[in-house]
Amino acid sequence: MERFKLDRYLPLLSALAILLASPGNHALAEPRTELIEIKRSWVDEMNKNREITLRFTEERARRGLLGGKDLYDVDEVFDAVYSDANQLAKSLSTEQYQARVRWKERQYNIETIALPGYESKARAIERAVQSRIQESKDHLNDFSYYKIMNIGSTKLIAMDYPAVTKDYADILDDLHKALSLVEIGISDKARIDTRLRFLQSIPYDDMSTNDFGLMTPLRMMAEWLGDCESKQIVLAGLMRRLFPDQEVYLVALPDHEHIVLALEATRKDSGLYFHNGRDYWILDATGPGFFNVDDSAYLIELYDLDRTTTRWMAM
């Protein structure tokens, strides 16, 4: 599997490249405070050229690009869970009773064998291993951005979007401040449109060669690529900072293999979507087409929100 490798970022992170290129350099394990600067430009909704600058330390770049929770896909995460459980099974096994875990992708079973009279011991190992697996699944967030969601009676392995925005809150804070400096208007809609246009201008990538399936905010800014999930996560973080008192949801659309954002409207408006007693603007930061706040009604119709399957995730 392709891994996120440092050389993909060297053209952008020149200071870090110089650091790593030094012969005999042993500073990789040491925190670095030198600032790395990334400039990003786009054409805004008034057809004017805009540019922002993001700055972060080498240590932050190293931590976010080389050591984040997004380095492994969901099947690799479960490989680790089941491998750990199998090690426990081996450590508890004896010549008289044994257990082992077999798995393929995300499915597993625990096999036990025991000499006559030792069956209860084998069952005890099975219970201990089952408990370990469940505990690991309950704490997937400790080492990944996946979690187990209960959808009715079904358990679903899903991306924990709020965990991503939490881990990259500093990047989102800086991005929010940078975009606030280039806003073309002070109305709520104008400020939202500035952020939509910025994200829609980032080249689209379907993440087919990305093990994790989306770009974290830092990785998206570094690579200047993103898919619908990657961009909507950043939009959610920006809307949360712009309107801290409004509800923000990511809305998964399984029938369309897409995801959009729902922002509680700050005023009465046309093109609002009513959900659980509140009115929302439906926003889409994906691009490359440009949709602004006033396109909410069009997006509601395009994705047939009144009839299609949706899953609302609070941000």
Query: What would the pLDDT profile of 13-58 be if each residue is shown by its tens digit?
Result: 443 443 334 344 334 445 556 788 899 999 988 889 999 999 988 8
In a domain, 149, yes or no: no
Let me know if residue 115 belongs to a domain: yes
Evaluate whether 232 touches 258 at the Cβ level (below 8 Å): no
Q: How far apart are CA 284 and CA 297, in angstroms?
A: 12
Q: Are residues 82 and 44 in the same domain?
A: no
Bigger pLDDT: 158 or 175? 175
Q: Tell me: the pLDDT tens digits for 123-152?
A: 999 999 999 988 888 888 888 888 877 766
Helix (H, G, I), strand (E, B) or coil at 214: coil
| CB neighbours of residue 224 within 10 Å | 14
Q: Same domain for 109 and 234?
A: no
Question: 200 and 58: one domain?
Answer: yes
CATH code for the domain in which residue 54 is found: 3.10.620
Q: In terms of domains, do 249 and 296 share one?
A: yes
pTM comes to 0.80
Residue 36 to residue 62: CA distance in whole angstroms = 11
- What's the number of domains the chain is made of? 2
139 and 210 share one domain: no
Tell me what pLDDT residue 70 has.
87
Q: Classify residue 8 as exposed, middle or buried by CB count within 10 Å of its CB (0-12, 13-18, 19+).
A: middle
Amino acid at 149: M
152 domain residue, yes or no: no
Using a pLDDT cut of 90, give the percent of the chain over it: 59
- Domain presence at residue 50: yes
| 216 & 298 share domain | yes
The verdict on 167 and 252 lying in the same domain is: yes
φ/ψ (deg, to 5) at 284: -135, 110
Is residue 176 a part of any domain in this protein? yes
Residues 235 and 297 in one domain: yes
Kindly state whether residues 111 and 183 are assigned to the same domain: no
The angle at the Cα of 230, spanning 165 to 272, to the nearest 5 degrees, equals 85
Residues 196 and 296 in one domain: yes
| Residues of the domain holding 94 | 74-143
The last residue of a domain, from among 143, 171, 199: 143
pLDDT tens readout for residues 214-253: 899 999 999 899 999 999 999 999 999 999 999 999 999 9
Task: Give the number of other CB atoms < 10 A from CB of residue 111.
Answer: 12
